[in-house]
Amino acid sequence: MILFAKCKATEELYQTLFAQMDVHVEAMDYIKKLRIEEDIEEKAEKMKAVYDFVRSVDRLVCYCLGREDLTITEGLESKEIQWAEVKALLNLEDSSSEGLLTTISKLKKERIDHGYPTPATANNLVISTDILGLASENFSLIPSEIHILRKLTDWVAKELPELITLADLYHASGNVWRPEEVLWSDL
């Protein structure tokens, strides 16, 4: 009888331990899922910031060329903007617009999420130091596409040296292109 009671107690202990292990495994799976979701959200935020930078520069370039109602892609396709003008303005060496347009298109297509980065991201993202790193880490860009992004950051630094953050770029492009988020009070 005592042996039977010990076996039953041991079996109950095992069942309790296995049940606790199942709970721990479920908890670990849930934590892992949350971390993956956080990583995806963080990557999406970074991708939105890079694309938003390019989109803002795109609008500023068109504004400088007297076509604030267009994007570079629209202007080149409609021939209302000439490649030579864009090339000279941005100090690009490319003989055709293909590299720039491919880079813009790739950034747009590879984004995980649409929309704008948060005000905190816009305020903290330093154009001259952060854009290229974020683009390299979060998009599948080839060296020539990174080079084009470098030209865009160089253009902003040269033409608008007072712009330090993405939020500054929003304010500079406010009359040209004003995403709803520019109206955030904490920008």
| Number of residues in the chain | 187
Does the residue 7 lie in any domain?
Answer: no
Q: What is the pTM assigned to this prediction?
A: 0.77
In a domain, 13, yes or no: no
In a domain? residue 17: no
Over residues 142-151, the mean pLDDT reads: 95
- Reported as a single tens digit per residue, the pLDDT across 15-50 is 887 778 877 778 787 788 878 888 889 999 999 999
Closest CA to 169 of 128, 108, 114: 128
Give the count of domains, the chain.
1
Angle 2-64/98-110 helices, nearest 10 degrees? 150
pLDDT tens digit string along 51-99? Answer: 999 988 998 899 899 998 899 999 999 999 999 999 999 999 888 999 9
In a domain, 36, yes or no: no
Domain residues for 146? Answer: 47-183
Between CA 157 and CA 177 the distance in angstroms is 19
**In a domain? residue 58:** yes
H or E element: which one contains 132? helix 127-138
Tell me, yes or no, whether 12 lies in a domain: no
List CB contacts of 83: < 8 A, sequence separation 6 or more.
76, 96, 97
Contact 187, 167 (CB under 8 A): yes
Residue 105 lies in a domain: yes
The answer to whether residue 75 is domain-embedded is: yes
